[in-house]
Structure 1
């Protein structure tokens, strides 16, 4: 599935993936005591789409989904976090290119690779990029945005680690193994 070209299937996945990202962000998020920061199940879905459809789809789903979520929820877009959603989707897709979930394979080695990849992507995104961009773009207080970034990052790492792994295991089970057919 992870082709360098933008196939019709990938374009449809980006559209549907962006819509599902918005729905999950709006209706399947758990508030935290930290202002404007919630536990998001949408990133587990984003990770699934990034693994299945690759970095370009993952990045665009994160970008479009987050823009639409912010526009619908707040009436304006918080660009620093939108950039991080793009980065997280793209980076997970890029780092997991060797995982062949489309072939019905998602073994322990793949689970470890997936989780290391998502932790790297999200740690850089939420612990470094989001707070730094908040300070640079919006002149937000440093202690506030780093607290938000740490809470968002930890919750997203755990959510993707648990729900994302379960989604990928379930998805792999729906696919035919690449050498499951035998010639008689």
Structure 2
């Protein structure tokens, strides 16, 4: 059977997820004092959606959502950070089967796995990819972009670690646990 990676469910998740990513990025961000770097709540939401719908949804929500957010906020896309957002969505989504929140269980072991994954993916995206692409694409000074990347990465890791974990716990509680339903005569 040839199953498309773009199911209706995934396309709807991308559309709604992108809209909410942009809204949260635009209206629920707190400046840090580091230029063009803020405390972003939308990465907790990206982690939630990537954990539920997988890597394709995570990739496109990060890519399209960050692009729209940049165009709305700054008038032009900043591709190095857009690519990093896409990597975050893709990377967290790639491990969605390990978290498997759809089965209604998101206990300590899965919380630890989720946070190790999200911290590792975000460290790669923000500590390495974003600054290196800033240097390669925009010829930005290394000390500036690595400072921005480290601050953004640490804030995103903390945000997803707290708010993202809370969102996944809340989502898991809405799901029926596997094997919890039984047949009665």
TM-score range, shorter chain: over 0.9
Equivalent pairs, count: 182
Equivalent-residue separation in structure 2 for 1:99 and 1:77 (angstroms): 32
Kept in 2: contact 1:96–1:117 (CA 8 A)? no
Corresponding residue number in structure 2 for 1:52:
52
Instruction: List alignment gaps of at least 5 residues for structure 1.
Output: none
Corresponding residue number in structure 1 for 2:146:
146
Corresponding residue number in structure 1 for 2:104:
104
Corresponding residue number in structure 2 for 1:165:
165
Structure 1 residue 4: deviation in Å? 6.5
Corresponding residue number in structure 1 for 2:90:
90
SS of equivalent to 1:98: helix
Kept in 2: contact 1:29–1:38 (CA 8 A)? yes
The runs of at least 4 aligned residues of structure 1 exceeding 4 Å deviation read: none
Q: 2:115 aligned with 1:120, yes or no? A: no
C-alpha offsets along residues 118-157 of structure 1, whole Å, 9 cap, x if unaligned? Answer: 0010000000000000000000000000000000000000
Kept in 2: contact 1:67–1:77 (CA 8 A)? yes
Structure 1 residue 98: deviation in Å? 2.0
Equivalent-residue separation in structure 1 for 2:6 and 2:102 (angstroms): 17
Equivalent-residue separation in structure 1 for 2:49 and 2:95 (angstroms): 13
Instruction: List alignment gaps of at least 5 residues for structure 2.
Output: none
Corresponding residue number in structure 2 for 1:6:
6
Equivalent-residue separation in structure 2 for 1:116 and 1:92 (angstroms): 10
Structure 1 residue 33: deviation in Å? 0.9
C-alpha offsets along residues 19-51 of structure 1, whole Å, 9 cap, x if unaligned? Answer: 000000000001001000000000000000000
Kept in 2: contact 1:66–1:85 (CA 8 A)? yes
Structure 1 residue 105: deviation in Å? 1.2
